[in-house]
A = this chain, B = another copy of it.
Amino acid sequence: MKDVIVIGGGAGGVPAAIRAAQLGADVAIIEAKEFGGLCMNRGCVPFGHMMLASNVLGAVSLGKKLGFRFEGINPDYGELKKRQDELIGFMRMGVSSTLKKNNIELIEGKGILAGKGKVAVNGKIRSCKNVILATGASWAKPDFIEGDMEGIINSDDLLTADELPERTLLFGRSPWLLEIGQFLHRFGKKVILATPDKSILPNESKAIRTRLNKALKTEGIDILREAGITRVAKEKGGLSVTLNFKKGSDTLAVDRILYMERAPSLKGLGLASVGLDEDADFLEVDRRMQTGAAGIYAIGDLTGLQERHYSHLSSEGALIAAENAMGLNSRINRLTFARILFTQPQVASVGMTEKEAKTGGYDVIVGAAPYGMNPLGMLLSENEGLVEVVADKKYGEILGAHFVGTNVAEMAGQAILAIGMEGTLEDLARAAFPHPTLSESLPEAARNALGRHIYLP
């Protein structure tokens, strides 16, 4: 009888298993494909690596402004891919080794709930006191075609191909399309980005969206809005795609359509055997990461829609679930959730936007500081960078912080701590962040909200 069986060995399952083992649990972890999951094998890590390559070309652009002359720059996707596959292999070995070092039993196979305290895997039933479900999401089928069609790919297909497609339509709502689109564009490929929405990143504040959009446009990446695909046909050497818009339509010739919508995979997990609804859009959990069934916890992509599929949310939930499974009483802080995008400029959004805070009934004050008024931002010519702070007017409690610009994925941690520790505008306004850094814009945005910015005009 195991104390904890974790089903799914990705960004959520692995830390859940380790945390449970640290607390004295006898743990098994079941993985159907590859330890490390989507994030390590086909998500954050390879795309993070591709973004670094993309950023090298960004650094070259900055270099030209700084007086460097570059005579010739040739990217080699084969080399990039080789390095990233090697690194992923190395990281995957690291994951297995860390799990084993924590005396966790590794099981390769598909784990399925088989009633209370029972998990079926590889034809056997294993007993346990607690289950942590961490099986993630899976690709949704495009609704603009029937069945499969060669040339319509997701990011897994992109990663396994030896070469980058020459002409790609990146279609849909996934924010990762922006990262991949920028990477392909910088690698000299033709990209067309199209979204069904009125804007890219519709959840972000208008200032953030507009600034990212402008940066992409300046770079030569246009985004088609309110677009739908009405027809896809095989054509000599590629695909012919008809897009319709609010007004009019257009037919394009491309090699690939990249479509990457994901949805929690609730079917086939045996949820019904423990009384859970496998027809829901996602598996609901409380702040303790507990499902409606006693002893069954769930974390990560399984527990939310695509817009909440971030591996740091999985690993945060992992520690909470493991601790509760082992008798502690831990709760996730829903106010510190961060959305991150590794485009250049990056986007980071922590906590509530102004709109969300108003909807939530807060009397809101907002402050902002553009990188254009930040000394390091000026040196970087970071005209599109911006930090926004959203706070409750009465006590100055920080409710959210929203960033666009260089290094904001690292700066997000400041907002996560400030909100997590129930900080106020006053705490931020007085923080003596190092000079010259982009981080200095966060205290200045807080001072702006308080009506006492120092460096803004």
Contacts and interface: CB of A to CB of B under 8 A. Distances in A.
A56 interface: yes
Contacts of A337: 432
A310 B434 contact: yes
A334 B315 CA distance: 35
A52 B62 contact: yes
Chain A interface extent, by class: 35 or more
Contacts of A11: 435
A59 interface: yes
A220 interface: no
A42 to B, nearest CB: 14
Contacts of A413: 411, 413-414, 431, 433-434, 437, 439, 442
Copies in the complex: 2
B76 A52 contact: no
A412 interface: yes
B52 A432 contact: no
A66 B59 CA distance: 14
A80 B52 contact: no
B45 A55 contact: no
A73 B67 contact: no
A50 to B, nearest CB: 9
Contact of A338 (B97, B312, B409, B432): B432
A340 interface: yes
Interface in A1-49: 11, 15, 18-19, 22, 39-40, 44-45, 48-49
Interface in A391-411: 407, 409-411
25 contacts: A44-B436, A49-B379, A52-B380, A53-B63, A56-B62, A56-B63, A63-B73, A68-B73, A68-B74, A68-B76, A87-B378, A90-B378, A313-B432, A407-B407, A407-B410, A409-B439, A410-B411, A410-B438, A413-B431, A413-B439, A414-B417, A416-B431, A417-B418, A417-B427, A420-B430
Interface of A: 11, 15, 18-19, 22, 39-40, 44-45, 48-49, 52-53, 55-56, 59-60, 62-63, 65-80, 82-84, 87, 90-91, 94, 97-98, 101, 310-313, 315-316, 319, 333, 336-338, 340, 348, 373, 375-376, 378-380, 407, 409-414, 416-418, 420-421, 423, 427-428, 430-440, 442, 452, 454-455, 457
